[in-house]
Amino acid sequence: MILGANWSVADDGWPVLALAGIITILVSIIFLPLGCFLLGIMVWLAHLLRVPNRQINADDQTIYAPCDGVILEIVQDIFPDGLATYAKPAQRITIQTRLYDTQLQTSPVTGRIVENHLLPGLFESWGNHPISWQAARLVNERREIHFCDPFNRVVVLVQMGSKTARQLICRMLEGKFVQAGSPIGMACVAGVVDLYVPAECKILSVARQHMIAGETAVAQFAAEPSKNKNTRSNQD
């Protein structure tokens, strides 16, 4: 759906927009003024669910923001349980997408998706305090997406549900190769993500900083891999 010269709705946004369209048509038949209001809501949703124009100049050493929004906190943690991580030490960057941010999420690194699984749960509110964030993290529905770059460095993106985000979408199959900054899905609407990076990474962002998916550098890997290692990895 082209909304302008360079504006299109993301594939994963179509079901939400279609549902809103059906509701708008039905309400308009019953009460036209309210239908006009809902039409405005549809335009707003189309704006949120669009594929934005972004300047992506990815490199192998940088980890990029996977979504638009604001960083809630940056803390020491461990990777979520998974085949690729074995609960190693990590740094966790929590980003909250707001109702007026673009909802599309992108790959933080170039590499392969080695795990992508949904863990059912609740949709409790995140609140405004770290204690409430931790409580929601323990009980809310989440989707864990594990990335492994060509140098076998692991980054994990966890989509988390909230009062408004009840669809955690990533249709990429395990083994799929993705470029940093390329679309991978979304959390509809205004979800929260935890981005886990290796503990030795240099953090390039701070709490309350605004993130732009695929453009803002969040962290940097500690050491640049040797060219010989890169060559062996490519040959494998």
Residue-wise pLDDT tens digits, 23-70: 888 988 998 888 888 888 888 778 777 878 777 788 999 999 999 999
Q: 185-222, pLDDT tens digit by residue?
A: 999 888 999 999 999 999 999 999 999 999 999 999 98
Place 151 in a pLDDT band, splitting at 50, 70 and 90: very high
DSSP assignment string, 64-127: E-SSSEEEEEEEEEEPPS-TTTTT-EEEEEEEE--TTS--EEE-SSSEEEEEEEEE--B-----
The full set of domain ranges for the chain reads: 2-51, 62-220
Topology, domain 62-220 = Glucose Permease (Domain IIA) (2.70.70)
Rounded CA-CA distance 199/212 in Å is 23
Rounded CA-CA distance 9/89 in Å is 38
Rounded CA-CA distance 124/218 in Å is 27
Structural contact between residues 173 and 148, judged by C-beta atoms closer than 8 angstroms: no
pLDDT in the model for residue 86: 60
